[in-house]
Structure 1
Amino acid sequence: MGSRINRIQQRLAKLYIDAFLVTNQQNIYYLTGFNLLQDDGFLLITPDRAIIVSDERYHLALEEFASEEVVATISQDYYADLNRICQALQVEVLGYEDTVSYQLYDLLDDTMIADLVPFSNLVEKMRQIKDSQELALLKKAADLHAAGYRYLLSQVHPGVSERNLANLLDFWMKEHGASGPSFSTIVASGANAAQPHATASDKLIEDGDAVTLDFGYFVGGYTADMTRTFAVGSIDPELKDIYQIVNTARRNVIDHVKVGMRGDKLDHFGRQLIAEAGYDDEFNHGMGHGIGLNVHELPVSYGPGTPHVKFANNEVITVEPGIYVPEIGGVRIEDDVIVTHGGPVVLTTAPTELIIVGD
């Protein structure tokens, strides 16, 4: 198999375009290994060239960037130079990512002589299937998350705030190798845990709270995504029952992960158990999503309405069933899983049994 850039180059003729413009930061990094921040330039791929265009701020970094297939040029006007390059290379039809802002599209439409053709998820579909190096980085990230969870449990006690726990975790993860969060950490206790996407607040943890922790951090450019729910002291018996239902649903979904499985079918193996327990209305989100360079990669979500999603070998997805009961609280448990021909490989090693802090 050729390089990632070469795979794009080989497709240009079949896509009826002369070149492809990449402006998404993660896609540029995926294709080249160069970290060009969003809106700080672009990557142009032609049948025999790959050109990064940026400005003077990246001069030294691009000089040090060792690549046999990517060349770089410094610009004071990215898209005027793009037009000049395309004219010089006789690019008449230019493909671009359909996720660009309207402002950038308007600029391209005004500037470019070449015809513009939008493409959806051209690079993102490549990113969906992970190679061995990517899988190793995702495993490293998942291991750090498990260690971070163990650390945070040691810091939990009645009277500590949700926000303080989130800040402690953030510091610990960064001190131990994470570059930063892929989304705002969720620490939701008591009734707050009935909100699937609650943010960490100033609420103090109380004895009898169930606490949901959902966090994701980048390690080597790739992010894991993990959720655990634990108890502080003696919690409502209904929440204990809900925990077992959610955990059984999580395990049942993972047991059925395989190449070729449809998204809606995989979702059914967990959602049906939750519905049979009488909580179908309290599970109000998808079963999971893809992860990688972003915390939500293709498939962005899979659930009851996703028959078009079919899992492939070496995709990495989350499995995250949950039940949320207003005024009582909620439970969500999330693992990261590799889809393989040999069955599921669970990356998340943190314990899934109900942990009671202060027992």
Structure 2
Amino acid sequence: MTRIERIQKRLPDLYIDAFLVTNQENLFYLTGFPLIEGDGALLITTKAAILITDDRYAEALREFDNREVIGMITRDYYGTVNEIMQKSGLTVLGFESSISYGLFDQLDELMVADIVPFTNLVENYRAEKESLEVETLRHAASLHDQGFEYVLGMVKPGMSELEVANHLDFWMKEHGASEASFPTIVASGANAAKPHATASKKLIEKGDVVTLDYGYFVDGYTADMTRTFAVGEPDFEFKTVYKLVNQARQAVIEKAQAGMHGDQLDYAGRHLIEEAGYGDEFQHGMGHGIGLTVHELPASYGPATKQVVLQHNQVITVEPGIYLPGLFGVRIEDDLLITHGGCEVLTKASTDLITV
């Protein structure tokens, strides 16, 4: 059964006659066509899948090899959706609840059919990866491993955080990545105590701790990896905190498997940090799903995510961290393929404490 057929099969059970897809990643997931969000929509009925866009995509549609999808060129995307619904006698249209208020207002004005919002209808399918998606994510993770080795061989005192980020960006793209899935974090010294610091003009100094957090798309899918290393010999407290964060990461990996609840998996690592007295210095969730975007379902898992249940072939991150303001921070992040028998760690770069 194709991805579109899955949606078509569900329409009667959802009490809708058609479903409208506008999210860029969902459009690509269902059709394989790279339509930029805002440049059209996919209308799925029980009998057809119609990709509605304008003449800027006419040539690409002619070259698009997908017999399951009908292309339609128009400048009036949603007026055309309304017309198709009326001509086909369809009276209830489902849509993604993530659309903007402006688009909702437009649909509300135009549609003769009743419109009904749905949350994560396509995203729930995206969360469980197919075999080709898993292989693509393995490849992406491998490139991130190599990127880390490149940084270790290149970074030195006197370079700015931004300079390191730019060198990594060039290297990743030269070796097969298309673009970053989020702004690369290179945080040195006290900046590493900020979980979402951005690469700045700060110069990396001897004795600094450096946190490197990056994600790049490879063939449409992104990995997400963090490593923390020292430039020059680190002090005892850093070594102690690093060891603790690494133990928490490993504890989560050992527990991760299909059927595990998010709060249970989080606890496997978090309680080690709390028992060591650093609970207040770990201020974020333990991880999140990745795939066509850097945050997919499960969007996050942490102490309050009992409702999250890991599924076979989901790919998630594990990223415990401890952040000591004014001093340093440590975060170590891996990507995990969840299975019924445990998990496979996709990112294989060393998590041993490295000094350059």
- Per-residue CA deviations over 1:218-272 (Å, capped at 9, x if unaligned) read 0010000000000000122111110000000000100000110000000001000
* Letter of the 1:249 counterpart: A
1:306-345 equivalences in 2 (<5 Å): 306-345=305-344
Match of 2:30 in 1: 31
1:91 to partner: Cα distance: 1.4
Matched, 1:121 2:120: yes
* Letter of the 1:154 counterpart: G
- Per-residue CA deviations over 1:172-225 (Å, capped at 9, x if unaligned) read 101110010000000000000000000000000000000000000000100000
Match of 1:356 in 2: 355
* Letter of the 2:206 counterpart: D
SS in 2 for 1:356: coil
* Letter of the 2:66 counterpart: S
1:342 to partner: Cα distance: 2.0
Q: Supply the distance in 1 between the matched residues of 2:234 and 2:354 (Cα, whole angstroms).
A: 11
Match of 1:241 in 2: 240
TM-score, scaled to structure 1: 0.99
Matched, 1:174 2:173: yes
1:90 to partner: Cα distance: 1.4
Match of 2:256 in 1: 257
Q: Supply the distance in 1 between the matched residues of 2:188 and 2:179 (Cα, whole angstroms).
A: 24
Match of 1:90 in 2: 89
1:11-90 equivalences in 2 (<5 Å): 11-90=10-89
Match of 2:99 in 1: 100
5+ residue gaps, structure 1, are none
Q: Supply the distance in 2 between the matched residues of 1:153 and 1:333 (Cα, whole angstroms).
A: 15
Q: Supply the distance in 2 between the matched residues of 1:90 and 1:144 (Cα, whole angstroms).
A: 50
Match of 1:136 in 2: 135
| Greater alpha carbon shift after TM alignment, 212-221 vs 81-90 | 81-90
Q: Supply the distance in 2 between the matched residues of 1:236 and 1:295 (Cα, whole angstroms).
A: 33
* Letter of the 1:242 counterpart: V
Q: Supply the distance in 2 between the matched residues of 1:139 and 1:154 (Cα, whole angstroms).
A: 23
Match of 1:204 in 2: 203
Same amino acid, percent of matched pairs: 62
Q: Supply the distance in 2 between the matched residues of 1:147 and 1:125 (Cα, whole angstroms).
A: 31
* Letter of the 1:216 counterpart: G
5+ residue gaps, structure 2, are none
- Per-residue CA deviations over 1:64-97 (Å, capped at 9, x if unaligned) read 1011210100001111111111111111000000
Show structure 1 runs of 4+ deviating over 2 A: none
* Letter of the 1:246 counterpart: V
1:42 to partner: Cα distance: 0.3
Match of 2:4 in 1: 5
- Per-residue CA deviations over 1:302-344 (Å, capped at 9, x if unaligned) read 0000000000110000000000001111000000001101211
SS in 1 for 2:268: helix
Q: Supply the distance in 2 between the matched residues of 1:226 and 1:319 (Cα, whole angstroms).
A: 9
SS in 1 for 2:10: coil
Q: Supply the distance in 1 between the matched residues of 2:2 and 2:183 (Cα, whole angstroms).
A: 34
Match of 1:153 in 2: 152
Q: CA RMSD in A?
A: 0.6
1:161 to partner: Cα distance: 0.2
* Letter of the 1:335 counterpart: D
Match of 2:301 in 1: 302
Match of 1:226 in 2: 225
Q: Supply the distance in 2 between the matched residues of 1:262 and 1:168 (Cα, whole angstroms).
A: 39
Q: How many equivalent pairs are there? A: 356
SS in 2 for 1:351: coil
Q: Supply the distance in 2 between the matched residues of 1:152 and 1:44 (Cα, whole angstroms).
A: 45
Q: Supply the distance in 1 between the matched residues of 2:159 and 2:87 (Cα, whole angstroms).
A: 63
Q: Supply the distance in 2 between the matched residues of 1:313 and 1:80 (Cα, whole angstroms).
A: 40
TM-score, scaled to structure 2: 0.99
Q: Supply the distance in 2 between the matched residues of 1:278 and 1:209 (Cα, whole angstroms).
A: 23
Q: Supply the distance in 1 between the matched residues of 2:94 and 2:233 (Cα, whole angstroms).
A: 59
